[in-house]
Amino acid sequence: MHYEQQKAMQRELNERIPPAAKGDPQNELRHVVNSQRFSGKTFDQSVTIALGFVRKRYPNFTPRILPPRQGFHGAPFA
């Protein structure tokens, strides 16, 4: 994966799923989404998979996921 794609994916992750305090399930969600994105999944697919994974450990978890900003089309794939 190209450096520019990695940076775009990281920017999207930081903008749409903000980090939380240490030990917060939100950070586990971010980790799984990032891993899925590197595997070639779309942002929405990655979030769906990550939510299922995190909710197994934290059934009452409510994620903080922001909508995409105007004009942002996500990270391109090769």
39 in any annotated domain:
yes
For 47-57, how does the pLDDT look when each residue is reduced to its tens digit (9 = 90+)? 999 999 999 99
Res. 78: pLDDT tops 80: no
65 in any annotated domain:
no
77 in any annotated domain:
no
For 4-47, how does the pLDDT look when each residue is reduced to its tens digit (9 = 90+)? 988 999 999 999 999 999 999 999 999 999 999 999 999 999 99
Residue scoring higher pLDDT (35 or 69):
35
- Helix 43-57, helix 25-38: angle, nearest 10: 140
46 in any annotated domain:
yes
15 in any annotated domain:
no
Which residues span the domain enclosing 45? 1-9+24-60
Residues 32 and 45 sit within 8 Å (Cβ to Cβ): no
67 in any annotated domain:
no
Res. 76: pLDDT tops 70: no
14 in any annotated domain:
no
- Whole-angstrom distance, CA of residue 44 vs CA of residue 54: 15
Assigned token pair, 44: 């929405």
- Number of domains observed in the structure of the chain: 1
45 in any annotated domain:
yes
